[in-house]
């Protein structure tokens, strides 16, 4: 291995290494190996190439940097501190401690300069693909021949684990197809993962794999050879037609005499003896810990002045742009700030009452199009189910390698990457991404949904075919536990509208919400469009649940609570109960999360908890519904997998019928009387 050429460079690279070593040692937890191995290529990227402004981590045209291998978080924390972000050294000394800005893995919002939350391997890589897509789309929308305001790279640092995970395969395949030339991945090719050598389970030719995806690939044989790393990054920047993978051969735990190149250095502190040996080996003073030599700091801190200049130059360009294109500049400001343009919702239709009605996926498609017409930064698509999910923006082009201005994303059959790419698009800023698939396949994108919720991102999931109503496709395609599973994710709002007008309200909420992602659960089958003169207004949806129909002038005997396609069923049951002299209230409950956020007084007014007789109806597992019906209430749901048959038959056979609701309601009533 070549020695690091220059003394100052050497000092800087070792500063990164030792900060990581000392932080992990003090916390007695963390992963020193990756930062020690990858310090040199990271140093080259951050000091020679990355266009960023440490004083303003949200400068819109900064290069994006994603540490996909989030377990190596001290690498990023060291770089952020050293280059002058608002991350004091004391925070690095508090690595992994309660309330610190340096949690175990990079978390958006906790640490200035962290672009995305990483840790689950593969996610950051796919986020970076989303960021690169966002850059290209915004460039197409806003740049003009003589004025460029969007022009940056997206860099991602990925490890073996990142490249093993399926989501990176999906995302890499799409990135190659889309020819995302400004996406550059530095692959920390250190041949080690937790269990030992990557030879245990990861032997394909990664370079060839990426080549066949349509990537430009480079190899650097010695990651400590700064000039070789720089040359590869330069080559990657020159390559504008294809994304680039630079496989950088590094040595995990570099500098540790006994642990370098072994899995031992992966997920545990070196230990005091080995720290001492490592420092001696690298010619580093043993004391103090967290040493940052002045010369090294001065070198890193050049980023502050440099970054200021970069942003100022951009600001000047933006001023010129704003003079030449005041309307575009205004639009840019609005979409980058996350605000909505005035009138964005003016064309949301009101659907007339119609007993035959339409599927909520179909009304969703109409509403989506009505919103898209006035909300230019709404962009999305489906994982190859657009005709079923009704996610196409009519009259818009596809986002493609030859047309970056298109708003219809063709994610291909890649649900997992779709979710992660949506996260990257949302994180980039300026766009509101949506993505569709069948509700049953929400399982395939659960990891990015969880992260979107953790990060509080605005993303809209269009999950159609939301029940056994799917019918003939059978149990593999019939969601059962999926609503419940999604509802368990903190920060995700799940909305299952009951008809076309609730669907319109659901979209209105999703686009307006600043509270994290929203999942829409929509039917394949037609649902009547309720007559809102007869029933309460659909804008009750914003409160999560509302009284849809009630008895006049008295308290009901029983409260029927339902979501989505089971609301018409509950209404039918209430008519039947009426004939039997039983007064039922019907509550439409499209969203638990929105309802739970209401004041207790409102919730009590809707659910009438003093009444024992309450029945909840939903075509999914009953888990969780008990809290809305109380101990004396009853649940009509499906606690088994579905079956293949026409949808109506499956509903009947599994007992999701108005008669069953009636029976259940009467039983509950009798019980509460007895
Ligand atoms: C999805 C996911 N699965 C498992 C893990 C646990 N994990 C953390 S690092 C790692 C593998 C480490 O190997 P590599 O990615 O090569 O990193 P390095 O050893 O070079 O630090 C694993 C399995 C994870 N973070 N994410």
Ligand 1, atom nearest to 105 Cα: 25
On average, the pLDDT of the chain sits at 97
Ligand 1, atom nearest to 165 Cα: 1
Choose among 141, 538, 543: nearest CA to 348. Answer: 538
556 pocket-lining for ligand 1 (C-beta < 6 Å): no
Mean pLDDT, residues 163-190: 98
- The answer to whether 449 and 519 are in contact (CB under 8 A) is yes
Find the 162 Cα to ligand 1 centroid distance in Å. Answer: 7
Find the 11 Cα to ligand 1 centroid distance in Å. Answer: 28
Provide DSSP, 611-622: ---EEEE-SS--
What does the alpha-carbon distance between residue 177 and residue 307 come to, in Å, rounded to a whole number? 33
Pairing of strands 192-193, 196-197: antiparallel
DSSP SS3 for 385: coil
Residues paired with 462 in a beta bridge: 436, 520
Residue nearest (by alpha carbon) to ligand 1 atom 24: 120
Whether pLDDT at 673 is above 90: no
Q: Which of 20, 161, 189 to mutate to test the pocket of ligand 1 (most atoms within 8 A of CB)?
A: 161
Residue 581, exposed/middle/buried by CB under 10 A (0-12, 13-18, 19+)?
exposed
200 pocket-lining for ligand 1 (C-beta < 6 Å): no
121 pocket-lining for ligand 1 (C-beta < 6 Å): yes
Alpha-carbon distances of 102 from 91, 120, 239, 361, rounded to whole Å: 6, 17, 35, 43
Ligand 1, atom nearest to 70 Cα: 25
Model pLDDT, residue 266: 83
Q: Which of 24, 121, 260, 268 to mutate to test the pocket of ligand 1 (most atoms within 8 A of CB)?
A: 121
pTM to 2 decimals? 0.98
Model pLDDT, residue 4: 45
Find the 267 Cα to ligand 1 centroid distance in Å. Answer: 9
Percentages (nearest 5) of helix, strand, coil residues in the chain: 45, 15, 40
How much of the chain, in percent, has pLDDT values that exceed 90? 97
Model pLDDT, residue 582: 96
Mean pLDDT, residues 54-73: 98
Whether pLDDT at 1 is above 50: no
Active site residue 227: no
φ/ψ bin of 277: left (φ > 0), alpha (ψ from -120 to 50), beta (otherwise):
alpha
Question: Which residues are CB-contacts of 597 (< 8 A; sequence separation ≥ 6)?
Answer: 544
All domains of the chain in start order, with CATH: 7-307 (3.40.50.970), 354-529 (3.40.50.970), 543-673 (3.40.50.920)
- The answer to whether 21 and 260 are in contact (CB under 8 A) is no
167 pocket-lining for ligand 1 (C-beta < 6 Å): no
Q: To which H or E segment does residue 593 belong?
A: helix 592-596
Ligand 1, atom nearest to 161 Cα: 15
Choose, from 135, 415, 593, 634, the residue flagged as catalytic: 415
Ligand 1, atom nearest to 160 Cα: 16
159 pocket-lining for ligand 1 (C-beta < 6 Å): yes
69 pocket-lining for ligand 1 (C-beta < 6 Å): yes
Model pLDDT, residue 438: 98
pLDDT classification of 172: cutoffs 50, 70, 90 = very high
Residues paired with 183 in a beta bridge: 154
- The answer to whether 198 and 187 are in contact (CB under 8 A) is no
Find the 193 Cα to ligand 1 centroid distance in Å. Answer: 6
Mean pLDDT, residues 42-55: 98
Find the 194 Cα to ligand 1 centroid distance in Å. Answer: 7
Compute φ and ψ for 15, nearest 5 degrees. Answer: -60, -45
- The answer to whether 616 and 561 are in contact (CB under 8 A) is yes
What does the alpha-carbon distance between residue 170 and residue 162 come to, in Å, rounded to a whole number? 12
Find the 366 Cα to ligand 1 centroid distance in Å. Answer: 43
pLDDT classification of 287: cutoffs 50, 70, 90 = very high
DSSP SS3 for 502: helix
Q: To which H or E segment does residue 433 belong?
A: strand 432-438
Convert the pLDDT of each residue in 580-620 to its tens digit: 999 999 999 999 999 999 999 999 999 999 998 999 999 99
74 pocket-lining for ligand 1 (C-beta < 6 Å): no
Task: Walk across the sheet containing 614-617 and list its strands.
Answer: 546-549, 584-588, 558-562, 614-617, 634-636
Ligand 1, atom nearest to 198 Cα: 16
Whether pLDDT at 674 is above 70: no
- The answer to whether 566 and 618 are in contact (CB under 8 A) is yes
- The answer to whether 562 and 587 are in contact (CB under 8 A) is yes
Choose among 646, 647, 606: nearest CA to 628. Answer: 606
Whether pLDDT at 249 is above 50: yes
119 pocket-lining for ligand 1 (C-beta < 6 Å): yes
161 pocket-lining for ligand 1 (C-beta < 6 Å): yes
Give the single-character DSSP code of 48: I
List the alpha helices (DSSP H) in 429-533.
Answer: 446-455, 482-487, 500-512
Convert the pLDDT of each residue in 341-364 to its tens digit: 999 999 999 999 999 999 999 999
- The answer to whether 2 and 280 are in contact (CB under 8 A) is no
């Amino acid at each position: 291995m070549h020695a690091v050429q220059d003394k100052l460079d050497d000092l800087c690279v070792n500063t990164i290494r030792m900060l990581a070593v000392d932080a992990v040692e003090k916390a007695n937890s963390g992963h020193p190996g990756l930062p020690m191995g990858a310090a040199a290529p990271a140093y080259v990227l951050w000091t020679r190439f990355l266009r960023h402004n440490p004083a303003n981590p949200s400068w819109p045209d900064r290069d994006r940097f994603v540490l996909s291998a989030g377990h190596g978080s001290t690498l990023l924390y060291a770089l952020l501190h050293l280059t002058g972000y608002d991350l004091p050294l004391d925070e690095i000394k508090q690595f992994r401690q309660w309330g610190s800005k340096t949690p175990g893995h990079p978390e958006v919002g906790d640490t200035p300069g962290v672009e995305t939350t990483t840790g689950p391997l593969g996610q950051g890589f796919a986020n970076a693909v989303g960021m690169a897509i966002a850059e290209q789309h915004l460039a197409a929308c806003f740049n003009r021949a003589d004025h460029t305001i969007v022009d940056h790279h997206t860099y991602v640092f990925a490890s073996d684990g990142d490249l093993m995970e399926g989501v990176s395969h999906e995302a890499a395949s799409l990135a190659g197809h889309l020819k995302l030339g400004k996406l550059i991945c530095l692959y920390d090719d250190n041949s080690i993962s937790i269990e030992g050598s990557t030879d245990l389970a990861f032997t394909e030719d990664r370079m060839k794999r990426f080549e066949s995806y349509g990537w430009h690939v480079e190899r650097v044989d010695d990651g400590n050879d700064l000039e070789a790393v720089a040359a590869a990054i330069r080559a990657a920047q020159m390559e504008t037609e294809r994304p680039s993978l630079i496989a950088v051969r590094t040595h995990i735990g570099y500098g540790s005499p006994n642990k370098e190149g072994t899995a031992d250095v992966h997920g545990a502190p070196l230990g005091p003896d080995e720290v001492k040996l490592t420092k001696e080996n690298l010619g580093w003073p043993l004391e103090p810990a967290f040493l940052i030599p002045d010369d090294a700091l001065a070198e890193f801190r050049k980023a502050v002045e440099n970054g200021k200049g970069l942003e100022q130059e951009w600001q000047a360009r933006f001023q010129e742009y704003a003079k030449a294109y005041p309307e575009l500049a205004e639009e840019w400001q609005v979409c980058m700030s996350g605000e909505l343009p005035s009138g964005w919702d003016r064309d949301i239709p009101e659907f007339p009452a119609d007993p035959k009605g339409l599927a909520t996926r179909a009304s969703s498609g109409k509403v989506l199009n009505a919103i898209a017409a006035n909300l230019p930064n709404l962009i999305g698509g489906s994982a190859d189910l657009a005709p079923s999910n009704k996610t196409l923006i009519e009259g818009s082009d596809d986002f493609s390698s030859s047309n970056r201005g298109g708003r219809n994303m063709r994610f291909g059959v890649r649900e997992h990457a779709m979710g992660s790419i949506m996260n990257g698009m949302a994180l980039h800023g300026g766009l509101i991404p949506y993505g569709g698939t069948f509700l049953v396949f929400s399982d395939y994108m659960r990891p990015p949904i969880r992260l979107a919720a953790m990060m509080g991102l605005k993303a809209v999931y269009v999950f159609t075919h939301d029940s056994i109503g799917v019918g003939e496709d059978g149990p593999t395609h019939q969601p059962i536990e999926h609503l419940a599973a999604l509802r368990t994710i903190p920060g995700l709002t799940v909305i299952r509208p009951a008809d076309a007008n609730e669907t319109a309200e659901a979209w209105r909420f999703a686009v307006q919400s600043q509270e994290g992602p929203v999942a829409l659960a929509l039917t394949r089958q037609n649902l009547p469009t309720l007559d809102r003169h007869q029933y309460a207004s659909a804008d009750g949806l914003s409160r999560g649940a509302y009284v849809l129909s009630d008895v006049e002038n008295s308290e009901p005997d029983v409260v029927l609570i339902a979501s989505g396609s089971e609301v018409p069923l509950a209404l039918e049951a209430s008519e039947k109960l009426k004939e039997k002299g039983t007064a039922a209230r019907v509550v439409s409950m499209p969203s638990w999360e929105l309802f739970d956020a209401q004041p207790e007084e409102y919730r009590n007014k809707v659910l009438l908890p003093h009444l024992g007789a309450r029945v909840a109806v939903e075509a999914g597992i009953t888990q969780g519904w008990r809290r809305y019906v109380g101990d004396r209430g009853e649940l009509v749901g499906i606690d088994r997998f579905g079956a293949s048959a026409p949808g109506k038959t499956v509903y009947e056979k599994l007992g999701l019928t108005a008669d069953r609701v009636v029976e259940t309601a009467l039983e509950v009533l009798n019980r509460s009387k007895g």
